[in-house]
Amino acid sequence: MEFLYFLIRRLLWSLLVLFGLSIVIFVIARVMPGDPARLALGPRASQEQVDDLKANMGLDKPLVEQYQHFIVGLSRGDLGLSFLTKRPVNDDIAETFAATLELVLATISIAFLLGIPLGVVAAAKKDGGADNLVRFGAILGAVTPSFLLALLLQVLAGYELHVLPTTGRLSPDFPFHPDITGLVTIDALLKGNPAALIDGLKHLLLPSLALSAATVGQIARITRSSMIDVAKQDYIEAGRAFGIPDHVRIFKYMLRPAFVPPMTILGLEFASLLGNAFVVELVFAWPGMASYGVRSILQKDLNAVMGVVMISGLFFVVANLVIDVLVGFVDPRVRIQGGQG
Amino acid sequence: MSELAAAPARPQVSIAYQNWHRFSRNPTAVIGSVIVTVVVLTAVLAPWIAPHPDHVGSIVNFRARHLPPSAQYWFGTDNVGRDIFTRVLFGYRVSLLLAAVVLAFAVPLGAALGLIAGYFGGWAEIVIMRLTDIALAIPPLVMALAVTAVLTPNLTHAMLAIAALWWTWHTRLIFSITRTLRAQEFVEAAEILGASRFHILFRELLPNCASAILVKTSLDFGFVILIGAALSYLGLGVQPPTPDLGTMVASGADFLPDRWWESMLPGAAILFVALGFNLLGDGLRDLYDVESVR
Amino acid sequence: MSAEPLLSVRSLSVDFSTYGRVSHVLRDVSLDVPARRHVALVGESGCGKSVTMKAIMGILAQPPARIVGGEIRFDGRDLLQVRGGEWDAWRGTAMSMVFQDPMTSLNPVFTIGDQMETILKYADRRLGRRRDRRGRLDRVYEVLAQVRMPDPERIAKSYPIMLSGGMRQRVLIAMALLTEPRLLIADEPGTALDVTTQAQILKLLRDLVEERGLALLMITHNLGLVREAADFVYVMYAGAVVERGPAVEIFARPSHPYTRALFDCVPKLSGETTFKGIDGSLPDYGAPPPGCRFAPRCPLAVAMCNRSPDERPVGPNHSAACWRLEEAVA
């Protein structure tokens, strides 16, 4: 019951965050100097053309009215028309979002699958060689520019060793369409198409590795310090006195409470993860939201840019809600006391 | 108290010396500060120490284009024959300037808001902390993309966009420290003695946050440089011909893998400076024992 | 019948090595805990009580600790000589421990029932007993009822955070009782609780000792608790037992200078408001005083105290390790 209240409260805060975000985006798009219609049409368009587009897009109305229009559209899930393609921004983003989602999910999986064991090993061998290696690796992961790592992986694994494809989500002309969830790997599993699954995974591996470096390091570091912290707790010693075997104490009694800080960190890191995804997508020509976003930015397509920022924020908020729920399942203290937020 | 009195008298050593002693025995901190010093010095002295200072601008030297690293061109040359090493040194100036300006704006603002939210609580806390929640939801890189989409892409706008979000991290950090300090006796004592709010905020609370701010700022220098580099890699930051590390990686990437030095060496230069600030911050974190700062 | 008490520690000595420095933390500690008795081990923080307790439970982290001599005899067998696996079988089954802090000794992210059931599962496995989860849970409910918990099934489904301090302390006792141990070691029982709750917990422990014929060893620095709950007392100072005797005896005639100083530290409710502290602090375990470890702080110390004092009788079953007993008592 308490958990339900907690979730409802988090949900309301999330809505508030999204509302605030919409104002920020609106301010960027409409209040800052620069005329969106003029930007979209370029300097050589006639004033009449610009005025036409303005009227079409409702840009001649007062700002408050424009914002009303914007927020009403948003609440209906309508991000407006692209200045350029004249298609709804929704459709454009929907086509690209699944690819970004797949990349981000793969990255998070790698981050946990690698980061947690590394952190556990480092904590177990505190101040030993393995520990120092993990700690230095974590710093190295955090400070390597993601585009540099992406380029490096692309060159090494793709051009030099010829083991993995370097661009796209599927090999050219591969007869497969992810039309269930939009995620190639998931859809391949659902349709029972192992060839597509393998091809999809091969394409996914390098981008998600490049994107996960920083997060793996963070998760390993946090896991390490929280394992060390938990190991000092009385209940771990108590388990020993009650004759509970080491493997149960480490993998059940220690890991579960130690699991909460890495989850929380992931929530905070999610924004920068998403930001880096933009760069990594470009390097690997991954047909995701980022490629779309950068293209619309270069072409000054404001509605599309606003849509991309808004969806990024929404993605962040939803990811954090999911993390809250998971943390609540892992840690009853959050469930019962409602956490600290 | 009596325990303190009973303790054997220690030789009097200044706190500064003690700190220096501990600092010098922390390999992370020492390596980090050496890297940072080297980078800052070469950036400042670039016009005098760079081997080919005339290669900074848009000169063309076709006979020397695409040369691999050599004694004459340490990092090789780019597609128009300019010395990459020289351009890296000048690129550091841009990176450091970007980070310094962003942090000069974000750190004081973030710290002040964190102090206010943490000390006063109530509405101040709700308003400020919800604002940080909103700002946290936007990836700084995406924000910078959006801002440069509306305005023209250049260094100033990149700094503006990053700074507009970066204060949130400092606000969160200082808020959490201040909130725990607020309940402590020395704050209460100052309140009872009738100290002004200004005095409590800036004379009592702020000094207690100083080490955390220092550690965080050191780490941030690296991260802001990385974001700036990513932005110019996407072509939305510093515009050519000004030498910029991210831009150099992007233009050099066209010649991968054969002419690897054109992208990988400027990339390594970014990694080097970010690593320096991170090691320094990590070492300072151990030194000041502020585990909570990330 | 065997004359030997259930637990008998003989001349136990433990060293700690930290950073290449050896500390002689326990020196020749001997104590007996017979069945149906409440034995207290008293001393200030850092005197080696916890090390003694952990050595008995076999949970001393080795290294840095090293047992350099002595015996820990349980039910006639020296635990230090048995093979590792056998001690594991004893630990948490025949002897069990009530942890001190009800706030930190329970894992916050598992239910009470889950934690207790896990203990039982591995105890069963060690003892070669077969019982399914259902059976184990029934035993959990049974024990929760034994520690006077209302509605055991609801308690078992609770997380620690949902229970009060007193209830958590009862859970900790229940955990210790799960495997029907014959020896219970209680670390500062109830000190983390308010006085009323503490009294209830002590009463519960007393009842359990009676009902189940347990042997109880309490580790504490709290003399009030000793007076209330112990029949036999060992006073420990700096890793050595300095005085032993029936509780009534010790309270009536504290004999070792340290014991006397300790009793002087207790503020009395009746009138006297001033109390004397003990000057100085615990000795350096790396280089302890050669003879009596209390000598540097002892007002009565003389040259002879440089030799280890023998235990000398003071009364029935009551003895103290001091060369200057006559002067001390006078």
- Domain parsing of chain B, residue ranges: 19-288
Q: Which of C36, C30, C79 is nearest to C56 (CA)?
A: C79
C108 touches A at CB < 8 Å: yes
- Selected for mutation to probe chain B from A26, A131, A135, A139 (highest B CB count within 10 Å) is A139
B234 touches A at CB < 8 Å: yes
Summarised one tens digit per residue, pLDDT across range B221-255 is: 999 999 888 888 888 777 777 888 888 888 888 88
Q: Which chain A residue has its CA at the smallest distance from C122's CA?
A: A244
Kindly report the nearest CA distance between residue B192 and chain A, in angstroms: 29
In-domain check, residue C309:
yes
Q: How far is CA B171 from CA B175, B216, C62, C226, in A?
A: 6, 11, 45, 52
Q: Any idea what the CATH number is for the domain that residue C315 is in?
A: 3.40.50.300
pLDDT band at A33; cut points 50, 70, 90: low
Instruction: Please indicate whether, in this complex, the C-beta atoms of A145 and B274 are within 8 angstroms of each other.
Output: yes
Q: Which residues of B touch A21 (CB under 8 A)?
A: 134, 137-138
Chain Cα centroid distance, residue C185? 5
pLDDT at B37: 92
pLDDT at B2: 36
Round the average pLDDT of chain B to a whole number and report it: 82
pLDDT at A39: 67
Instruction: Please indicate whether, in this complex, the C-beta atoms of A332 and C161 are within 8 angstroms of each other.
Output: yes
Surface of B (140-199) touching A: CB under 8 A: 140-143, 145-151
Whether residue B274 is predicted with pLDDT greater than 70 in this model: the reply is: yes
Round the average pLDDT of chain A to a whole number and report it: 83
pLDDT at A149: 92
Residue type for position C169:
Q
Which tokens go with C222?
Answer: 């709290």
Q: Average pLDDT, stretch B262-279? A: 90
Torsion of CA A72, A78, A79, A84, to 10 degrees: -130
pLDDT at B3: 35
Identity of the highest mean pLDDT range in A181-195, B53-67, B201-215: B201-215
C118 touches A at CB < 8 Å: yes
Q: Are C264 and C275 in contact (CB under 8 A)?
A: yes
Q: Which chain A residue has its CA at the smallest distance from C117's CA?
A: A244
Find the CB nearest C108 among A237, A240, A333.
Answer: A333
pTM score, whole prediction: 0.81
Q: Are A154 and A209 in contact (CB under 8 A)?
A: no
Summarised one tens digit per residue, pLDDT across range C304-313 is: 777 778 787 8
Instruction: Please indicate whether, in this complex, the C-beta atoms of A148 and B140 are within 8 angstroms of each other.
Output: no
Whether residue C330 is predicted with pLDDT greater than 70 in this model: the reply is: no
Q: Which residues of C touch A237 (CB under 8 A)?
A: 59
In-domain check, residue C68:
yes
pLDDT band at C3; cut points 50, 70, 90: low
d(CA C193, CA C196): 8
Find the CB nearest C107 among A243, A245, A253.
Answer: A253
Summarised one tens digit per residue, pLDDT across range B103-115 is: 999 999 999 999 9
The tally of domains found in chain C comes to 1
Kindly report the nearest CA distance between residue C91 and chain A, in angstroms: 6
pLDDT at B4: 36
d(CA A302, CA B147): 10
In-domain check, residue C101:
yes
d(CA B282, CA B290): 10
C84 touches A at CB < 8 Å: no
Q: Which residues of A touch B289 (CB under 8 A)?
A: none
Instruction: Please indicate whether, in this complex, the C-beta atoms of B130 and A312 are within 8 angstroms of each other.
Output: no
CB pairs under 8 A between A and C: 73
- Selected for mutation to probe chain C from A127, A232, A234, A242 (highest C CB count within 10 Å) is A242
In-domain check, residue C153:
no
Quote the domain boundaries for residue C167. Answer: 5-109+159-329
Question: What are the residue boundaries of the structural domains of chain A, listed by start?
Answer: 1-84+299-341, 91-288
Kindly report the nearest CA distance between residue C128 and chain A, in angstroms: 14
C109 touches A at CB < 8 Å: yes
C218 Cβ contact partners less than 8 Å away, ≥ 6 residues apart: C38, C39, C40, C41, C185, C186, C189, C225, C226, C229, C230
Kindly report the nearest CA distance between residue A186 and chain B, in angstroms: 27
Q: Average pLDDT, stretch A46-70? A: 78
In-domain check, residue C145:
no
pLDDT at C85: 65
* CATH, range B19-288: 1.10.3720.10
DSSP class of residue C214? -
Residue bearing the bigger pLDDT, A339 or A71:
A71
pLDDT at B12: 52
Residue bearing the bigger pLDDT, A303 or A107:
A107
- Selected for mutation to probe chain A from B138, B263, B282 (highest A CB count within 10 Å) is B138
Summarised one tens digit per residue, pLDDT across range B116-163 is: 998 888 898 889 988 888 888 888 888 887 887 777 778 888 888 888
Q: Which of B235, B189, B182 is nearest to B206 (CA)?
A: B182
- Which value does ipTM take for this structure? 0.85
In CATH terms, is domain A91-288 a member of 1.10.3720.10?
yes
pLDDT band at B9; cut points 50, 70, 90: very low
pLDDT at B40: 92
Instruction: Please indicate whether, in this complex, the C-beta atoms of A330 and C109 are within 8 angstroms of each other.
Output: yes
Round the average pLDDT of chain C to a whole number and report it: 80
Residue B249: Cβ-neighbour burial (10 angstroms; 0-12, 13-18, 19+): buried
